[in-house]
Each structure stands twice: as structure tokens, then as C-alpha cells.
Amino acid sequence: MNTVLKSVVILMVNYKSSTYVSSCLASLDPEPVEQIIIVENGSGEDEWLRLQEAVRGHASKVRLVRSHVNLGFGAGVNFASSYVNPDYAGLLWILNPDTTVTKGCVTSLANRVVNGELDVVSPAIVTGPRTAPSVWFAGGVMDLAAGATRHMGYGGPLPSVAGIISSTFITGAAPMISFEAWKKLDGFNESLFLYWEDADLSLRARNLGLSMGVDLDSLIWHEEGGSGEDEGRSALYYFYMQKNRLIVSSPYSGLWSLLMGKGAKETGRLLLRPLREKQGRARKALASIRGLAAGIYAVRKQKVQDETMALIGEK
């Protein structure tokens, strides 16, 4: 593999996760990164002060910007990318703050893009103790008929092979992409707010003919749920997972198939899973029901708008 390395700018969205930022930045210190743009995403004044303290000592590379409202993940990343010079010809690495980067990760990822092996690349992502890590992401697939995304090998050991694995779905936790390709994709879909924005981006990347995959020669640790507030899955998780899976998948599989056909199992799983939570079962179950209703409403509304525009076009 060549060792040509383009400039890398990291985009990071902080929402009540400043306790992780310092260790993430420390792991990035030896990596060849030009700049780290961190958006404080409406977490409040106390969190803003904690974040400022967390980046102290890394000021030469870090640029802090602030949103006083929670924009959501996708819009937060887009906001961070708006601070990149429009003429920038390097690479962007979208990185969750609750991650720790291993040595050489940035160089390996960047070379995959620079050498034309992949257009969008993720490192292998593990979670759990360092002595016994388990796979969080080592490639993924989208089942649009079911309205579901799957992390391949989730919870198991890291693959024994090296190199790259082709993937039709790239998680939003740590994708690297050229700034040129990012602009072609027009960033994340901001209407999704939280969850499924990476699936939507992966679909659009695939439609543009961009290649996607995982570089098994690069590795990061991920504190799963590190930006959350609840034990287990949050109510926001259940709301937006239900809503956004319908919005993103329905153009490909149809709404009623997602509800009554091949997607019924996933719909039911998201309705029943809150009842197994240790905390906030009723609140989370209600959020799942509300998310499902909001998704149905959004899909039907979009269908009416599309049909109206088609009629106008025929006149």
C-alpha cells in the first residue's frame, strides 16, 4: 500500500459526552490530523464549560463551535462541515466523541481513499474491555424490505483476516470520505434528526456509484451508548428508530410491507423491546408507538405531496 496521505479534518458532534472527549483527543494526538472541528450541540451552559476544559491541551488542532439548540446528529455534522474551507481538497473523518483511536488508524483509512480502494471507509469498531473486545461494526447490510440495518458479526470476535471488507451500509460512528464526495452527497439528511441518517447516506452513496467498506487494518474502541442519558436504550432511540426506518425504507419497499409484510417483525421488535428495559419501560414503549405513528404520517404526507406535484407536472 502506498503511504500518500492527504490532509484529514475530523468532524465531531458533542451532546453531553464531554467526559469522553478528552480521551478521544488524546488518542488522536499522534495521528496525522490537520484539524478537529467539534460542535457543542445544544447540551447547555455547563456542558459547554466542561467541553472547553476537555479540549484544553489540544487547542492547536481543535476548533470549538457551538449550537445553542440540539440540531440532531446529521445536522450537527453538516454544521461542523460548514466550517471547512470550500476549496479544501482533503478528507473528512466523522468521528463519535465516545471513541478511542488506535495508532496508525488515520493513515490506514486515508490511504484506502487516496489509493482509490474505497470512497467511503470505516475502521473496524469494537466495544467492551480491551482484553476481550467484541465487534460493534465490521461491515453492515441494509434490509430495506424489513426496514432494518444489521452490523455483521456484532458481539463476536474481530475477523481474523486483514484488508478491506465491502459493505452496503456504513455506520455514522466513524466514516472517512473525501470532501469532494461529501459535497456531492450534500451531507446528511437533516430531517431525520437522529438514527438512520447513516443508512440514508449509504443509500445515496450507493446510488452515486461510490464504493463503501471497512478497513480491518484500522481499529477504534466505541463506548456504546456513551452519548446517552438512560440505562439501556433511550426513549429517543425508540422514537426515531421507528420513525426514520419507515421514512428511509418505504420508497424501496412500501409502507404497508414495512408494517404488515416483511417489515412486521422489525416493527414488532421495536414495539416490544422497551418492555425488557430496566428503566422507563412505559415511557420508552410510548415513544416507540409515537415514533411509528409519526413515521406513518410522514410517509403518507410525502406520498400526497409527490402525487400533487405529479398532477401539477401533467398540466
- What is the secondary structure of 122-183 as a DSSP string? EEEEEES-TTS-EEEES-EEEETTTTEEEETTTTSPPPS--SEEE-SB--TTS-EEEHHHHH
**Residue 308: per-residue pLDDT:** 82
Q: Domain locations in the chain?
A: 8-222, 235-314
**Residue 225: per-residue pLDDT:** 56
Q: How confident is the model at residue 197 (pLDDT cuts 50, 70, 90)?
A: very high
- Give the C-alpha distances (Å, rounded to integers) separating 233 from 17, 43, 48, 76: 16, 19, 25, 21
| pLDDT, tens digit, 9 for 90 and up, residues 172-188 | 999 999 999 999 999 99
| pLDDT, tens digit, 9 for 90 and up, residues 22-64 | 999 999 999 999 999 999 999 999 999 999 999 998 988 999 9
**Residue 5: per-residue pLDDT:** 55
Mean pLDDT of 231-245: 94
Burial zone of 63 (CB within 10 Å; 0-12 exposed, 13-18 middle, 19+ buried):
middle
| pLDDT, tens digit, 9 for 90 and up, residues 81-123 | 999 999 999 999 999 999 999 999 999 999 999 999 999 999 9
**Residue 1: per-residue pLDDT:** 43
Average pLDDT score, the chain: 94
Q: Is the pLDDT of residue 304 over 80?
A: yes
**Fold for domain 8-222?**
Spore Coat Polysaccharide Biosynthesis Protein SpsA; Chain A (3.90.550)
Per DSSP bridges, beta strands 120-127 and 176-178 are antiparallel
